[in-house]
Amino acid sequence: MRRIKIVDLLKGTAPGQDVLVKGWVRTRRDSKQVSFVALNDGSTIKNVQIVVDADKFADELLKRITTGACLSVTGLLVESQGGQQSVEIQAKEIEILGDCDAQTYPLQKKGASWEFLRDVAHLRPRTNTFGAVFRIRHQMAFAIHTFFHQKGFFYFHTPLITASDCEGAGQMFQVTTKNLYDLKKDENGSIIYDDDFFGKTTSLTVSGQLEGELGATGLGAIYTFGPTFRAENSNTPRHLAEFWMIEPEVCFYDKQDLMDLEEEFIKFCVQWALDNCQDDLEFLNKMVDKGLIERLKSVVGIDFMRLPYTEGIKILEDAIAKGHKFEFPVYWGCDLASEHERYLVEHHFKKPVILTDYPKEIKAFYMKMNEDNKTVQGTDVLFPQIGEIIGGSVREESYEKLTNRIEELNIPMKDMWWYLDTRKYGSCPHAGFGLGFERLLLFVTGMSNIRDVIPFPRTPGHADF
C-alpha cells in the first residue's frame, strides 16, 4: 500500500478503506482498552488520530509509542466518534520506525519558551508553531516568485561573494583562503591580498542590488531572492547576520511607480498567506498573536500613507512637544530609530507608511538626488510591529552626479567601474527596493523575534546547527 500524506487524507479520503500513514507521535492518551495517538507528518498542522486497541498489539510495542516516536500505521479509516476530528484510523498494523526516549527527548513538555526552542533548533520544526511558521515561509517564497513572474520580471541570480560594499556601511564578512596565522603585510602593515583566492579583498554580499541593476539595464525588470549577510553587531528582535532579501530592480520606474510596486507587492504576499495558509494562520492567531488575522486583513484593505521624511520629522517633533518621550533624539537629519518608525505607523497614522525623500547623509550613494541637493529619493516602507520592512529608492542615473557622490563618500572609484558603465552607456531612469524576507515573515506569522522565522538563525555569537 502507498503511504498517504495526512494533508491529503484529511482533504477528503472516503472512510471505509484501509490507509497507510507515517509520522511522529505528538501526544498519546490512554483509556482502559484503547490508546489515542495524535500523529503528525508535517504536511499540515492537523494531526490524524490513531485508535489503538490494546488487545490487538503486544505490550512491548505499545510501550514504544511515546511522544516523538516515528510510526508507520496501517488501518481502517472511519468516521470519528469524537468531536475534534472528522475521521480517525483504527490501527491494524503498527511499525515503530524510530523510537524516542521519553527521558531525554527535549520536546516532551508543552509550553517550552522560545529561547529554549532556539537551543534545540534542530528539533523545533517538529513543534506545531515552527511547523506552521516554516510552511508559511515556503508559501511566502512561492508567493514572491509568483508575483514577479506574473508581472514579467526575470529572476536574476546575483553573486554571494563580492568585492563591493553596496550599502557602504562596512558591515561585511570577509571571504578568504589565507592562512590567518601567517599573513603577509606590506611596509604600512596592510595585509597583501594579491595572492588570496580572488586576488583581492572579497566579502559576503550585503545586497544583490548593484548586480541587480546590471541585470535590469539589459532585461528591463528583474528580481533577486537570496541570502545576504551583515556583520552588524545588532542584538535586536529584527536583525539577523544572515537573512534573505528580495530585490526587484526596474527600468523606467519613477518614485511613484516604485511606491506602487512596493505596496502592491506586500499586499499580494499578505493576501497569498490569507488564501493559502488558513490552518497555520488560525493556529498562530490562537496560540501566538490574537490579533494576527485581523491585522493581515486590515493591511490588504487600506492605502499606505505616503509621506516625505521632513514631514515625518515634524510629526515626531510635535509629539515630543506634546510630551511624548523617545529614547533617541529627533532632529532633521537623524536616522529614524525603530521607536520613531513605530510611532508614525502605530500611533499617528495607524497604518503602514512609505517614508520618502531622506537626507542624503543617512542614505547610500546610489540614491537619486532631489533638486534641493539635500534629499534623495528613498522610499522605505514602515510597518506596524516591525518598523522598516522595505528599503528602496530611485537610482541616480546621471553619471556626473553619481561619480560626484562616490567621490564625496570616498568610495574607491576604480572598484566601481563596472557599475558606472551603466550610467556611461545608455543610462536610464530606474528604481528598486529590498524587502527583508524574515521581516515580512514576522508580520505574516505574528512571531515577535526574527530568530523564530528562519530555521537556523545566525546572530552575533550564534552559528549552531
75 binds ligand 4AD (CB under 6 A): no
Q: For residue 449, which amino acid is it? A: N
The binder of 153, among Mg ion, ligand 4AD, none, by C-beta within 5 to 8 A per type, is none
Select from 75, 215, 436, 457 the one that contacts ligand 4AD (CB under 6 A): 436
- From CA 120, how far away is CA 114, in angstroms rounded? 10
Nearest approach, Cβ of residue 380 and ligand 4AD (Å): 7
- From CA 355, how far away is CA 343, in angstroms rounded? 13
In the complex with ligand 4AD, the residue whose CB is nearer, 140 or 389, is 389
Number of helices (H), then strands (E), belonging to the chain: the values are 13, 16
Q: Measuring CA to CA, which residue among 132, 143, 384, 429 is closest to residue 281?
A: 132
Question: 195-202: which pairs have CB atoms within 8 A and are 24 or more residues apart?
Answer: 198/161, 198/163, 200/163, 201/163, 201/174, 201/176, 202/161, 202/162, 202/163, 202/174, 202/175, 202/176
- From CA 337, how far away is CA 334, in angstroms rounded? 9
- From CA 392, how far away is CA 28, in angstroms rounded? 51
Nearest approach, Cβ of residue 178 and ligand 4AD (Å): 27
In the complex with ligand 4AD, the residue whose CB is nearer, 202 or 228, is 228
Where does this chain touch ligand 4AD (CB under 6 A) — which range of 96-104, 239-247, 265-273, 412-420? 239-247
387 binds Mg ion (CB under 5 A): no
DSSP secondary-structure letter at 361?
G
Residues 6 or more apart from 172 whose CB is under 8 A from it? 165, 203, 204, 206, 229, 230, 231
263 binds ligand 4AD (CB under 6 A): no
In the complex with ligand 4AD, the residue whose CB is nearer, 75 or 378, is 378
In the complex with ligand 4AD, the residue whose CB is nearer, 207 or 422, is 207
Where does this chain touch ligand 4AD (CB under 6 A) — which range of 191-199, 243-251, 319-327, 407-415? 243-251
432 binds Mg ion (CB under 5 A): no
CB-based contact 155:310 (threshold 8 Å): no
The binder of 389, among ligand 4AD, Mg ion, none, by C-beta within 5 to 8 A per type, is ligand 4AD
Q: For residue 241, which amino acid is it? A: A
Select from 158, 207, 375, 445 the one that contacts ligand 4AD (CB under 6 A): 207
Cell 602593515 sits on residue: 189
The binder of 137, among ligand 4AD, Mg ion, none, by C-beta within 5 to 8 A per type, is none
Between the CA of residue 296 and those of 43, 61, 274, 380, 443, what are the distances in Å? 24, 46, 8, 20, 8
CB-based contact 271:298 (threshold 8 Å): no
Nearest approach, Cβ of residue 203 and Mg ion (Å): 19
193 binds ligand 4AD (CB under 6 A): no
The binder of 360, among ligand 4AD, Mg ion, none, by C-beta within 5 to 8 A per type, is none
434 binds Mg ion (CB under 5 A): no
In the complex with ligand 4AD, the residue whose CB is nearer, 130 or 437, is 437
- Tell me the site size for Mg ion, rule CB under 5 A: 1
378 binds Mg ion (CB under 5 A): no
Where does this chain touch Mg ion (CB under 5 A) — which range of 109-117, 327-335, 387-395, 422-430? 387-395
Nearest approach, Cβ of residue 125 and ligand 4AD (Å): 21
Segment 338 to 397, residues that bind ligand 4AD, using CB under 6 A: 388-393
Segment 390 to 409, residues that bind Mg ion, using CB under 5 A: 391
Beta strands in 230-352 (DSSP E): 242-251, 305-308
- Tell me the site size for ligand 4AD, rule CB under 6 A: 23
- From CA 214, how far away is CA 216, in angstroms rounded? 6
Coil, strand or helix: which one is 282? helix
How many angstroms separate the most distant Cα atoms in the chain? 85
Select from 45, 107, 166, 454 the one that contacts ligand 4AD (CB under 6 A): 166
Binding site for ligand 4AD (CB under 6 A): 166-167, 207, 209, 230, 232, 239-240, 243, 245, 247, 388-393, 432-434, 436, 438-439
Binding site for Mg ion (CB under 5 A): 391
